[in-house]
Amino acid sequence: MTEESPRIAGSRPRVAILFGGRSSEHAVSCVTAAGVMGAIDKTKYEVIPIGIAKSGQWVLASGDTSQWSLSSAALPEVAPSGKTVTLAEVGGEHQLIVTEPNAVPQELGSVDVVFPLLHGPWGEDGTIQGLLELSDTRYVGAGVLASAVGMDKHFMKVVFESAGLSVGPYIAVTDRDWLTDAEAVRKRVDKLGFPVFVKPARAGSSMGISKVDSMEELDAAVEEARRHDLKLVIEAGIVGREIECAVLQGRGTDTPRVSMPGEIAVAAGEHQFYDFAAKYVEDGAAALSCPADMPDEAIARVRELAAVAFDAVGAEGLSRVDFFYTPAGELVINEINTMPGFTPKSMYPQMWAASGLAYGELIDELIHLALTRKTGLR
């Protein structure tokens, strides 16, 4: 366990950008990587782009950002390769090694810090963080437990409730619950009252989520969510504005820094809620604004609650905390995202930009936090 990365003071730290990944948010992650690779200060950091194919294979990826942007006709995707990249400790340093069948392994050099730009399961859920911890490698963002809690829409609510945050009515439904007694699940849903939101417990980008207005629609929504995760969360629909805050870990022992809140307003009529198409596909389907037009007192409260949520799950680095702001003025927490959308146009960087921290500076600060953080139990 070392205090400081040995390379910080010397040559440019080598930053491995990890993107793609095995989740259904693969393409979104590629777009994020394009944003970060385009903005990172290359005079200060040496960037090594590592793509993770949908199969899970790590490959040396192109640093050409145009290849990973959304402008191309097809969604960007990391292609598998005959050459596999692995991270291993060699001679006390964290080396990237390229292996291919019947060839001598080739060293790509050492890595000072990994920036996992991965969304969803096998990236934002503690698994990659565990792998990096095992090899004693520094990385940006939340650790193992915080990532796992932030990924699971059931356990995050348990943690939020115990921290005193207001959580809407919900039930958690396991595979066993649904397969052995679907009728009991239907009764519990009936008590929540319609509409309900049926969600895979561990997914993201609104994948697998349906708004359900009556019992007749429930089974289809459950089956759709189960395609993503066999564990589900079913929530009572909350009427309220969608308000979010960007949280950035403080330096040293400082408390978390919280941006001004932003608001997502989904164009009425077109979308039932903030679904995948409204998030990524259709330009203009959702309007992001920051700062959100709220009374000063509510702004202060939402910022305070965002910091509570960040600390409640034990987050580090960055998180976006999302709330519903009800007509009665209540702030009901929806979720925390420990690796939120991070393209220059995404809400998280936009909220920081509106709060005085530009995209490039934000990337620099996150890498600084990771380089100066001890490795060890997290």
Ligand X SMILES: Nc1ncnc2c1ncn2[C@@H]1O[C@H](COP(=O)(O)OP(=O)(O)O)[C@@H](O)[C@H]1O
Least distance (Å) from ligand X to the CB of residue 236?
A: 6
Burial grade of 346 (CB within 10 A; 0-12, 13-18, 19 or more): buried
Q: Which two tokens stand for residue 349?
A: 């960087």
Give the three-class secondary structure for 55.
Answer: coil
H or E stretch at 18: strand 14-20
> Which whole-number Å values give the CA distances from 247 to 40, 104, 154, in the listed order?
20, 45, 21
* Shortest Cβ 231–ligand X spacing (Å): 14
> Does 237 participate in binding ligand X (rule CB under 6 A)?
yes
Choose between 108 and 288: whose C-beta lies nearer to ligand X: 288
- Binding part of the chain for ligand X, among 97-105, 132-140, 203-211, 216-224 by CB under 6 A, reads 203-211
Of residues 378, 377, 376, the one with CA closest to residue 2: 376
Query: In sequence order, which residues have a C-beta less than 8 Å from that of residue 96 and are 6 or more positions away?
Result: 16, 48, 50, 85, 86, 87, 107, 108, 109, 110, 111
Residue 275 CB, nearest approach to ligand X (Å): 7
Determine, following the binding rule CB under 6 A, whether residue 197 of this chain makes contact with ligand X: yes
Token pair belonging to 88? 């291993």
Stretch 164-183: interaction string toward ligand X, x if CB under 6 A: ----x---------------
In the list 23, 24, 29, 206, the residue contacting ligand X (rule: CB under 6 A) is: 206
| Shortest reach from residue 211's CB to ligand X, in Å | 7
Which single residue is written with the structure tokens 């349906």? 210
273 lies in the binding site for ligand X (CB under 6 A):
yes
- Per CB under 6 A, does 32 bind ligand X? no
Coil vs helix vs strand at 118: coil
State yes or no: residue 210 binds ligand X (CB under 6 A): no
Residues from 304 through 363 that contact ligand X (CB under 6 A): 322, 334-335
Q: How far apart are CA 65 and CA 44, in angstroms?
A: 19
Tokens of 14: 């080598």
Give the residue, chosen from 8, 238, 260, 285, that forms a contact with ligand X under the rule CB under 6 A: 238
Stretch in the footprint of ligand X (CB under 6 A) among 4-12, 40-48, 231-239, 356-364: 231-239
Rounded to a whole number, what is the largest CA-CA distance in the chain? 67
Of positions 52, 144, 201, 209, contacts ligand X by CB under 6 A: 209
> Which lies closer to ligand X via its Cβ, residue 242 or residue 263?
242
Binding residues for ligand X (CB under 6 A): 168, 197, 199, 203-206, 209, 235, 237-238, 242, 273-274, 322, 334-335
